[in-house]
A and B are shown apart, each in its own frame.
Chain A
Amino acid sequence: MAASRVVPLIDGSPTFKQITLRWIDAVGDLRTDTSIIDATTTTGQIESLVAAMLSASNASLYAAYVTDVYLGEKSKANALHEVRESVNDNIVYHAKDPNRENRRAYVPAPISSMFIDDTEIPDENAIKRDQIMTKWDTVWKGSFAGVSLRFTERRDINKKGEL
């Protein structure tokens, strides 16, 4: 048995939307602003908003992010007290394409049936049966192929230094 899913269906009708605008000015300073917008806002309305903002600024608009947010109840009561209940324990599915591009997916707090009995080794057949790998491969597209499955604790890493 898995925990309750409370996130709404991903069906093109989000709880709300967000728009993020990213700017760079003539001396190289950057800024980013995000605003919640109505769930029914159309692509055309967002484009006209972007165009109106741009036409009044000396800065260069180099990216716009449009986010659909599907939000359900955030409650620990909807999760299960089971072996491997922590969200920091996860099965990591690692895939690569021929250009050595990487993709990883993380199943947090994996249920017991995803492991070979009496081990902490992910059961490839069980995970295939549940189609987790297949579904990720579908959205990654391209020619990604699985490289490994491993059960591990999520690593805390130090702050990244941009180069």
Chain B
Amino acid sequence: MAGTRTAPTVDGSPTFIEISLRWIDAIGDVRSDVSLVAAAATDAQIEAVAAAMAAGSNASLYAMRITQVYEGAKSKANGDNAVRESAQDNIVYHAKDTGRVDRRSFLPAPLEAVFVANTETPDAGDGLITAIMTAWDNAWAGTFAGISLRFTERREINEKVNL
């Protein structure tokens, strides 16, 4: 048995949409603003916002992010009290492409069934694991190929310094 999914089906009809506009001005200061918009807002309507906003500003609009949010009930009662129940324990799937670009996916609180019996070694041949790797490979596209699977605790890292 797995935890209960409360996130709605990802089908193009999100709970709501967020748009983020990112700006840079003539002295190099940057800002970003986020606004909640209706789930039914179209790309063309959002483009019209971007065009109208860019036309009214001395700053340069350099990026937009349009996020479809599919959100359900957030309750610990929907998680399973089982071995490896913590969301901080995860199986990390690591893939690389021919340009040495990395991708990683993280399966939190993995089920007992995805390990080699009586070990903490992920079972690369398990059907649930192969389905996960295939689904990620499809989403990453390109020439990504799996490098490793490992079971670990999520690392706490210090604050990043941007260079």
Q: How many residues of B sit at the interface, in one of the four size bands?
A: 35 or more
Contact (Cβ within 8 A) B61 A7: yes
Residue interface bits A77-96, CB-to-B below 8 A is 1, else 0: 01111101111100100000
Q: How many residues of A sit at the interface, in one of the four size bands?
A: 35 or more
Contact (Cβ within 8 A) A88 B135: no
With contacts defined as CB atoms under 8 Å apart, how many contacts are there between chain A and chain B in the complex? 348
- A5: min CB distance to chain B, Å: 4
Set A7, A62, A76: member contacting B72, Cβ < 8 A: A62
CB-CB under 8 A from B138, the residues of chain A are: 41, 45, 48-49
Name the residue of chain B whose CB is nearest to the CB of A141. B38
CB-CB under 8 A from B2, the residues of chain A are: 54-58
Does A37 sit within 8 A of B, measured CB to CB? yes
Does B145 sit within 8 A of A, measured CB to CB? no
List CB contacts (< 8 Å) of B16-62 with chain A. 19, 22-31, 33, 35-38, 40-41, 43-62
Mostly, the B contact residues are: mixed
- A85: min CB distance to chain B, Å: 5
Please list the 9 inter-chain residue pairs (A to B) with the smallest Cβ-Cβ separation, ordered nearest first: A38-B141, A60-B78, A141-B38, A26-B79, A78-B60, A10-B47, A49-B135, A25-B87, A109-B58
Does A125 sit within 8 A of B, measured CB to CB? no
Mostly, the A contact residues are: mixed
Name the residue of chain A whose CB is nearest to the CB of B49. A135
Contact (Cβ within 8 A) A3 B11: no
Task: Give bound CA distance, A135 to B114, whole Å.
Answer: 49
- Most chain B Cβ neighbours within 10 Å, of A29, A49, A131: A49
CB-CB under 8 A from B128, the residues of chain A are: 52, 55-56
- B135: min CB distance to chain A, Å: 4
Contact (Cβ within 8 A) A24 B63: no
Does A108 sit within 8 A of B, measured CB to CB? yes
Contact (Cβ within 8 A) A142 B38: yes
Given known A-B contacts A52-B132, A70-B64, A85 and B76 have beta carbons under 8 A apart = no
- Can you show 5 pairs from A to B with CB atoms below 8 A apart? A3-B60, A31-B88, A52-B128, A108-B31, A138-B41
Contact (Cβ within 8 A) B29 A87: yes
Does B120 sit within 8 A of A, measured CB to CB? no
